Amino acid sequence: MPRPRQALLSRQRIVETAAALIDADGLAAFSTRRLASELGVRGPSLYNHFATKDEILDAVADSVTGRVDVSYFGSVDWREALRRWGHSYRAALAAHPHIVPHLATGPGRRPAALTMADAVYGGLVDAGWPPARATHIGALMRYFVAGSALGSFARGFVDDPGLYAEQYPHLTQAHRLAEHQQRVDEGAFTLGLDALIEGLSRTYERTVGPLPPLPPATNAY
């Protein structure tokens, strides 16, 4: 039998298939056996490309992080850079919420995650933030963004007016939240991000120095 012209497996194909399985079934259901079956190969074939299951998960997480735009740091004011990065970061994670728990463990050795951390930290330090505070800001943004991407606040309420009517008098409209999920969740994230940046701006002026006025918002998000 002639050998195939192209290799049956590649790192990219493994990562893309693993990502699709995790998106569909969740992180807990993911296994190398299930992945190999989906790819139509035997399990040991995967280990020609990845030594462990965790390496595959790292690659999937890094493929998601690689979609985050960090180009704003160094090109616009740090406050606007933080805002644009935050929205890009959330969009990437919200599109693949099941990988977020693994991704949120930290960058480890993942190249895209380390590139993002380097860009954010470097941009903040260059803007005048002390290194320790730049580290804190990177950490708090990860907590905020990852938490917002793990699930929908609005979809956590069931579409049953009767559940709330008698026992929860302040939640009589809660059954409508899921209907307006995108507006509720994105509005909450934007409000929180704006408040976070406003608080950081005050801290900067108190500890570092005055800030120039920001140009009018571009409404990019």
Tell me: the pLDDT tens digits for 103-145? 999 999 999 999 999 999 999 999 999 999 999 999 999 999 9
Residue range 37-93, pLDDT digits in tens: 999 998 889 999 999 999 999 999 999 999 999 999 999 999 999 999 999 999 999
Torsion, Cα of 115, 118, 142, 192 (10° steps): -110
d(CA 89, CA 78): 16
Look at residue 6 and tell me whether its pLDDT is greater than 80. no
In the numeric block, which tokens belong to residue 138?
């990177």
Q: In this structure, are residues 65 and 112 in contact, taking their beta carbons and an 8 Å threshold?
A: yes
Q: Please state, rounded to an integer, the average pLDDT across all residues of the chain.
A: 93
- Give the relative orientation of helices 131-149 and 181-207 as an angle to the nearest 10 degrees: 170
At 73, phi and psi to the nearest 5?
Answer: -70, 125
Confidence of residue 7 (pLDDT cuts 50, 70, 90): low
Residue 152 clears pLDDT 60, i.e. is over it: yes
With a cut of 90, say whether residue 28 has pLDDT above it.
yes
Q: Identify the band that residue 1 occupies on the pLDDT scale cut at 50, 70 and 90.
A: very low
Q: What is the mean pLDDT of residues 159-184?
A: 93
CA pair distance 60, 99, nearest whole angstrom: 8
Q: Is the pLDDT of residue 5 over 60?
A: no
Which amino acid does the sequence have at 157?
A: F
Check residue 144 and give its pLDDT: 97
Per-residue pLDDT at 32 exceeds 60: yes
Using CA atoms, how far residue 152 sits from 10, 16, 94, 130, 187, in Å, is 34, 25, 9, 35, 12
Angle at 41 between CA 110 and CA 25, to 5 degrees: 60
**pLDDT surpasses 60 at 188:** yes
Q: What gap in Å lies between CA 90 and CA 101, rounded to an integer?
A: 14
Phi-psi region for residue 27, left (φ > 0), alpha (ψ -120 to 50) or beta? alpha
CA distance 100 to 205: 34
The single residue listed with the structure tokens 């699709």 is: 20
pLDDT, position 96: 96
pLDDT at 217: 65
- As a whole number, mean pLDDT of residues 168-173 equals 95
